[in-house]
Amino acid sequence: MSGSYQRTQKDIAMLKGKTALVTGSTSGIGLGIAKSLAEQGARLVINGFGDKDAALAEVRAIASAHGARVAYSGADMSRPDDIVAMVRDAERDFGTVDVLVNNAGIQHVALVEDFPPERWDAIIAINLNSAFHTLRAALPGMKARGYGRVINIASAHGLVASAQKSAYVAAKHGLVGLTKAVALECATTPVTVNAICPGWVLTPLVQKQIDARAAASGSSVAQEAVKLLGEKQPSLQFTTPEELGALAVFLCSPAAQNVRGVAWAVDGGWTAQ
Ligand code: NAD
């Protein structure tokens, strides 16, 4: 194998000594990104609800190969005080937060006139406002230490809309706008701020939507999954958490130091239409 293609230990552990905080990383995309960052040697702060022990075990198994520690925060991304405390705890325990992935998110599907106001508020708080609170807590440390990577997990719905998803579309468009504004504020610093905009990824968040569609239409879950892709995603394939993890790793690399304020679609052509 030629020298340029040989993976050295240094390449593999690009994030050794760095700390990554991934919100909503007990499941789905966040867990996939946390595992990819752990493969690069990063210390990890895992956050989210549900089966946290299984998620922690998966990430710890990867991180331990690099001697990197993994911590858990049960902070609720709808609570600003929890969010700021999570960042402060990470900085206290690990010394730094170098990579911040704002990933936690929820969904609710209904016509705007039927949308429960408390669901609207929860979606805006968790999918958008939480990124403001993590950013204001983590950016000063990143700037002071001379390295920072912020990756906001928006959505194809940060670029285009779908009916019955008003809160989600508003939050994700807001997250793309927040990404651009803060990227500009950081443009002359070593801190980059970008968004990833996935199309359909088969995680619990999407499985619930497929199950609801199958229940409503009377067709099978498998048929509904194919229909769902056919409506929006020309590749007819789900994006995977591993693919998003690989993009997050690239955005953390030195090669991405001038990638700033982008909303990078990984959507099988959804937003190219
Ligand atoms: P998921 O349901 O598998 O995971 C969501 C994560 O967020 C879980 O860890 C959950 O515990 C956590 N979470 C939810 N509410 C929280 C709260 N109040 N505080 C802390 N953590 C909380 O969903 P996913 O599909 O992996 O989605 C992750 C992100 O990716 C979301 O922002 C979602 O909008 C976005 N996204 C998903 C898709 C997709 O097709 N799955 C597409 C585009 C964007």
11 or 239: which leads in pLDDT: 239
How far are the Cα atoms of 125, 155, 190, 205 from residue 128, in angstroms, in the given order?
Answer: 6, 12, 24, 17
- Residue 71 within a domain: yes
**What share of the chain in percent tops pLDDT 70?**
96
Q: pLDDT tens for residues 77-109?
A: 999 999 999 999 999 999 999 999 999 999 999
Residues 88 and 190 in one domain: yes
Domain range spanning residue 214?
201-238
Helices 166-185 and 117-124, axial angle in degrees (round to 10) = 20
Taking residues 64-72, report their average pLDDT.
Answer: 97
**Co-location of 61 and 91 in the same domain:** yes
82 and 29 in a common domain? yes
pLDDT value at 12 more than 70: no
Q: How big is the CA angle at 165 (ends 81 and 138), to the nearest 5 degrees? A: 25
Average pLDDT, rounded, for the chain:
95
**pTM score, whole prediction:** 0.95
Share of the chain above pLDDT 90, in %: 95
| 130 shares its domain with 97 | yes
Q: Is 143 domain-assigned? A: yes
CATH of the domain at 30: 3.40.50.720
205 C-beta closer than 6 A to ligand 1: yes
- 163: amino acid identity, one letter: A
Q: Is residue 273 part of a domain?
A: no
Cβ of residue 56 lying under 6 Å from some atom of ligand 1: no
Catalytic residue at 168? yes
Which among 23, 103, 232 is the best mutation to test ligand 1's pocket, defined by most ligand atoms within 8 Å of the CB?
Answer: 103
Report whether pLDDT(11) > 90.
Answer: no
Distance (Å, whole) CA 251 – CA 241: 15
C-alpha–C-alpha distance, residues 84 and 95, integer Å: 15
pLDDT tens per residue across span 24-47:
999 999 999 999 999 999 999 999
Q: What is the pLDDT of residues 146-203, one digit of tens each?
A: 999 999 999 999 999 999 999 999 999 999 999 999 999 999 999 999 999 999 999 9
- Judge whether residue 9 has pLDDT over 80: no
What is the rounded CA–CA span in Å between residue 169 and residue 272?
Answer: 17
Evaluate whether residue 117 is within a structural domain: yes
Residue 198: per-residue pLDDT? 98
- 270 within a domain of the structure (yes/no): no
Taking residues 113-126, report their average pLDDT: 98
Q: Say whether both 137 and 99 belong to one domain.
A: yes
Whether 272 is in a domain gets the answer: no
Residue 214 domain flag: yes
